[in-house]
Amino acid sequence: MSELQSVHNYYERPVFNHIQENYLNVGLTENQLADMACIALNRIAPRYIRHDIDMSFYMSSEEYQEIQTRVEKAVKKAFKKVKKLDGLERT
> pLDDT tier at 88 (50, 70, 90 boundaries)?
low
Residue range(s) defining the domain that contains residue 51? 3-90
26-43: average pLDDT: 97
Task: Dump pLDDT digits (tens) for 4-33.
Answer: 988 999 999 999 999 999 999 999 999 999
Can you give the pLDDT at residue 39?
98
CA dihedral 31, 8, 18, 88 (to 10 degrees): -30
The count of domains in the chain is: 1
| pTM for this model (two decimals) | 0.87
